[in-house]
Chain A
Amino acid sequence: MAFNEPTFSRRGLARLGAAAATIAALGAVKSAAAQGTSGTIKVGILHSLSGTMAISETTLRDVMLMLIEQQNAKGGLLGKKLEAVVVDPASNWPLFAEKARQLISVDKCAATFGCWTSVSRKSVLPVFEELNSILFYPVQYEGQECSRNVFYTGAAPNQQAIPAVDYLWNESKVKRWVLAGTDYVYPRTTNQILEAYLISKGVAKEDILTNYTPFGHSDWQNIVAEIKKFGSAGKKTAVVSTINGDANVPFYKELGNQGIKATDIPVVAFSVGEEELAGIDTKPLVGHLAAWNYFQSEDNADNKKFIAAWKAFTKNPKRTTNDPMEAHVIGFNMWVKAVEAAGTTASDAVIDALIGTAVPNLTGGYSAMMPNHHITKPVLIGEIQADGQFNTVSRTAGLVVAQEWSPYVADTKDLIGDWRSPLKCGAFNVKTGACTAGKKA
């Protein structure tokens, strides 16, 4: 029953044009960059404020604005005020690269804080290397990368995934593993590393079930049933979840409805934090686990001060804090310290000064920037509570140094990254003595 040809007025076309112009104008407003005066140091903020990733990244923009405001209240940096330049890459990976180029070439930002997904980081990486600028990347990721221009303040796999597996292995005596993830680079690489690690621990291949689902997957019925079935082989079973943000809510709802309790088959997640839990009724999830390097429930003075400042800044007493926010706090403070030490914001000087910089983290200790451009972190395992917060059930004895190249993957087991003189190499093969990639004289 196709539509019969109606009459329409010519004005319609004009109005459509007007509507299109309005939409275009909205886009332009977002990308309007601040044209600051020469007396400021510009800091780029490259987080999606619209599209799928806005849910996670908007918070990071806010925390950066708060940190810059706090720094300015303390008198700025090198006698100048800091100025935030916010752009919106709109969850569009190629747009990340464009916006990064704009931040560095047009706005002349001294450093950029941004990206969430690994695809967005891979998209901007060549831009930062080509224009020799600095990116602070705050999210846990799959490793296997070590760029001179990127400082990874999130966790590498050995600072999150492997300790979580160890915890289940030792505490819950888990012998059968479901590796469930969203189908993109972070879960695939992490699961590849985890599978190699589990096999090295003596887990049989048939005791590992790997499952990938598309972004935003919402119908988990038969996957949860399959997990249940996989768990009925008489060995303690656990799910290691690299399921990305949005898809978690229906996943956990289905687990609850099909009656899988944390005491039967615990799920340990690497992408579920306080923010994500704020959108779920957490009562059926009590006891499921997450591995991070920070929880809002951490009981120390620095963290309490940070949470209070955050709630005051957002004017929302219910706002939660999470791990990537802490990573930005650490990264920003390290950058400030390094710029002060170098006396300039020039990239080369700051990159060299950053290595070895140590600042307090929010878990009651210090984090240091290592020569591989990753930071030292404690690893915490938390169980979900009915109030949407985490109850820390395990923490590593000391700080864990990141392994940027996984020792469990054959191709990368001999590689190290060290950006100090004289090595200055992101992928140095200790067996052959050759720098395989990312050499910078």
Chain B
Amino acid sequence: MRRFFAILLLAALALAPGPSKADQADDAFAALASTSFDSVRGGVEQLSASGHPRAAAVIGALQSGKLYFRPDRALFIKQDDGGYLHALTAAAIADPGTVKPVRVNNGIRNAIDAALGAMRLFSPDTATRLTAAEAVFHAAEAGALPALNKAIAKESDPSVRLRMEQARAAAILSSADSGEADRIQAVSVLRTRADIDARGFLASLSGQPPAVADAIAVAITAIDRKAQLWSVAQSVYYGLSLGSVLLLAAAGLAITFGVMGVINMAHGEMVMIGAYTTFAVQQFMRAHTPGMYGASLLFAVPLAFMVSGTVGIVIERTLIRWLYGRPLETLLATWGLSLVLQQGVRTIFGANNKDVDTPSWMSGATQLGGLTLTWNRMYIILFSAIVLAALMAALRYTSLGLRMRAVTQNRRMAAAMGIRTPWIDALTFGLGSGVAGMAGVALSQIDNVSPNLGQSYIIDSFMVVVFGGVGNLWGTTLGALTLGITNKFLEPVAGAVMAKIVVLVLLILFIQRRPRGMFPLKGRAAES
């Protein structure tokens, strides 16, 4: 860390035009020690222009909220151990007296990003240079041109260099005294960047010479055309992602409703219990094994399966087994049970949402051509594929799966073969509930962890299972993906509310035509 700062200082020194700006730096420090946002913003801009050796450290401290000031306008940087450094001299101060943090707003954050970006263009770390180049691109200030030219000359990494050239193009276009040829060249650089930021920047330019303005208009049309093509792929991705969430929520129901025929209105609550298990696991790990906190979700998955599965088995043994063959009573009893479970969780954990952390490896997004792929959604697509594969394998290749299929196909014959059918019922229900619990882990990453979590998925889950064809996991999968993709293509046209209604109407029409869903079961089992 110390080396990093030392290099930053060198970089700042390299940029320093001369000692004549010392007064300016003093003014800047005085301006920073203020409660006025305008004054602080001015201070940041002055300080970064002054080239003062402490500029990078002070602005960095301001960015992370560690810059404090005293009423006499002295500035201090708070250390991680709770001590303070004098901002100007970097000398340790035991007790600075009453200090207040320098507060920032969005305007100041912009100024900080621009200032730090320009200073960090010379960082030895490639990733830092890349973000610095992006920051300079967003700031688009003519003043950054000399630093950019110097940085581009030194840059060896081609991807960073490309970003720097784009930043330079933005700076050239913002500058008042660039030549027309340079500007047109800059427009073509940004045209190849072709993303939404480049479009936004180009569209924001005004007062360009006519030839440049024409080039800009052409570039914007080109970017828009490209974006339109990509938007189809993007909608498919959104649909896949929504479909995978629906699939996860419905996979458990495909077992309990699809295979066993139990109308389980408390299915959503199994999902909710899985999400609360995730919360409990994170709380426990934060307190006891903070080193492994990043992997908390990996521990939560099997645990949520077990907790929800156990709850499912208990429900089957105590409630549902008395109601087999009576769908209406099952519906009412499980619906009542869902209310009891919701209120139970509300009493134990409180009515408020619980904060389930997203590990850093699941945050953010990556760019693939014109596609924005968010990591959390990618992992959920992957996770639902794994869950589905595991579930199918369990039903197909394990002896428990064999027994389950035997019992659901012909109960009396299975019993005659010595299978303890009541226990198989309980275990099948437990499996379905456990899968719902695992879905809860995934949903905790994208939705609220509140007692109402399950309610919002129960209708969708039934829709998916009925649409896909009761008792068929492939049908459930295709049903989920079809509903997801249809929804995401309708949403931009019709709006989110209308899209939901249209999907429901289409579904009702479809069920009218084909009451047994997309993939009805055929043969003797289907007749009973």
List chain A positions with a Cβ less than 8 A from chain B: 1-6, 8-9, 11-13, 15-16, 19-20, 23, 26, 49-52, 54-55, 58, 171-172, 183, 211-214, 216-219, 221-223, 225-226, 228-229, 231-235, 246, 249-250, 253-254, 256-259, 262-264, 266, 275-276, 278-281, 284, 287, 383, 386, 391, 393
> Do residues B325 and A8 form an inter-chain contact, with CB atoms below 8 A?
yes
| Cα distance, A11 to B326, chains bound together (Å) | 14
The answer on a CB contact under 8 Å between A23 and B340 is: yes
Contact, CB under 8 Å: A15 / B258: no
Q: A51-B452, A228-B196, A284-B363 are in contact. List 12 more A-B contacts (CB 8 A).
A: A49-B351, A221-B241, A223-B491, A232-B203, A250-B446, A254-B374, A257-B377, A263-B109, A264-B138, A278-B355, A280-B353, A287-B106
Question: Would you list which residues of chain B between 49 and 108 have a CB under 8 Å from chain A?
Answer: 65, 103, 105-107
Contact of B433 with A by CB under 8 A: no
Instruction: Map CB proximity to A onto B320-339 as digits: 1 under 8 Å, 0 otherwise.
Output: 01111110010011001101
Given known pairs A2-B528, A222-B488, A234-B204, the reply for A229 and B447 (CB within 8 Å) is no
A203 CB, min distance to chain B CBs, angstroms: 17
Interface residues of B, Cβ cutoff 8 Å to A: 37, 65, 103, 105-107, 109-110, 113, 138, 196-197, 199-205, 227, 234-235, 238, 241-242, 245, 258-262, 319, 321-326, 329, 332-333, 336-337, 339-340, 342-343, 346, 350-355, 357-358, 363-365, 372, 374-377, 408-412, 446-452, 455-456, 470-471, 488, 491-492, 495-497, 500, 521, 525-526, 528
CB distance from A365 to the nearest CB of B (A): 19
Q: Are B202 and A234 in contact (CB under 8 A)?
A: yes
B134 CB, nearest partner CB in chain A, Å: 10
B447 neighbours in A (Cβ, 8 Å): 218, 249-250
Q: Which chain A residues lie closer than 8 Å to B113 at the CB level? A: 263
Question: How far apart sit A231 and B260, CA to CA, in the bound complex (Å)?
Answer: 50
Rounded to whole angstroms, the CA-CA distance of A96 and B430 in the bound complex is 38
Instruction: Specify which of A4, A211, A386 is in contact with B411 (CB 8 Å cutoff).
Output: A4
Cα–Cα distance between A5 and B324 once the two chains are bound (Å): 8
* Choice from A49, A223, A229, A279 contacting B352 with Cβ under 8 Å: A279
**Closest partner residue, chain A, to B238 (CB atom):** A221
Q: Which residues of A contact B324 (CB under 8 A)?
A: 3, 6, 8
Instruction: State whether B452 touches A263 (Cβ < 8 A).
Output: no
For the complex, what is the distance from the CA of A228 to the CA of B199, rounded to whole Å? Answer: 11
Known: A1-B408, A216-B456, A228-B196. A50 touches B343 (CB 8 A): yes
- Is A3 a contact partner of B496 (Cβ separation < 8 A)? no
B362 to chain A, nearest CB (A): 9
Residues from chain B with a CB closer than 8 A to the CB of A231 are 200
**Contact, CB under 8 Å: B106 / A279:** no
* Residue contact A249 to B409, C-beta cutoff 8 Å: no
Residues of B within 8 A of A250 (CB): 446-448
Q: Which residues of A contact B107 (CB under 8 A)?
A: 171-172
The complex places the Cα of A32 from the Cα of B452 at a distance, in Å, of 24
User: Mind listing 15 A-B residue pairs with CB under 8 Å?
Assistant: A1-B259, A1-B470, A171-B107, A172-B106, A212-B496, A214-B496, A222-B238, A232-B197, A232-B203, A234-B205, A249-B353, A279-B352, A279-B449, A284-B363, A386-B65
Within the complex, the shortest CB–CB distance from B195 to chain A, in Å, comes to 9
Q: Which of A15, A16, A26, A213 is in CB contact (< 8 Å) with B496?
A: A213
**Are A9 and B528 closer than 8 Å at their CB atoms?**
no
Expressed in whole angstroms, the minimum distance between the Cβ of A113 and any Cβ of chain B is 18
Chain B at the A interface: mostly helix, strand, loop or mixed?
A: helix
By a CB distance below 8 angstroms, the chain A residues around B202 are 234
Residues of B within 8 A of A256 (CB): 363
Cβ contact within 8 Å between A54 and B351 = yes
**Contact of A221 (CB < 8 Å), options: B138, B197, B377, B408:** B377
Closest to A9 in B: B322
Q: Are B340 and A259 in contact, with the CB atoms below 8 A?
A: no
The winner among B261, B456, B492 for most chain A CB atoms within 10 A is B456
Whether the pair B200, A222 counts as a contact (CB closer than 8 A) is no
Which of A49, A216, A222, A250 has the most chain B CB within a 10 Å cutoff? A222
Q: B355 touching A279 by the CB < 8 A rule?
A: yes
Distance of A266 Cα from B238 Cα, bound (Å) = 24
A219 to B455, CA, bound (A): 15
Given the known inter-chain contacts A171-B107, A214-B500, A287-B106, please indicate yes or no for A16 contacting B329, CB distance below 8 A.
Answer: yes
Query: In the complex the two chains form, is B200's CB within 8 Å of A232's CB?
Result: yes
Of chain A, the residue at the smallest CB distance from B197 is A232
- Whether B106 pairs with A233 at a CB distance below 8 angstroms is no
Selected contact of A259 from candidates B319, B365, B446, CB within 8 Å: B365
In the complex, the chain A residue whose C-beta lies closest to that of B337 is A19
Do the beta carbons of B452 and A278 come within 8 Å of each other?
no
Bound form: Cα–Cα A99–B420 in Å = 51
* Bound-state Cα–Cα, A26 to B342, Å: 13
Interface-centre pick from A171, A223, A276, A279 (highest chain B CB count, 10 A): A279
**B497 and A225: CB pair below 8 A?**
no
Residue of A nearest to B259 (CB): A1
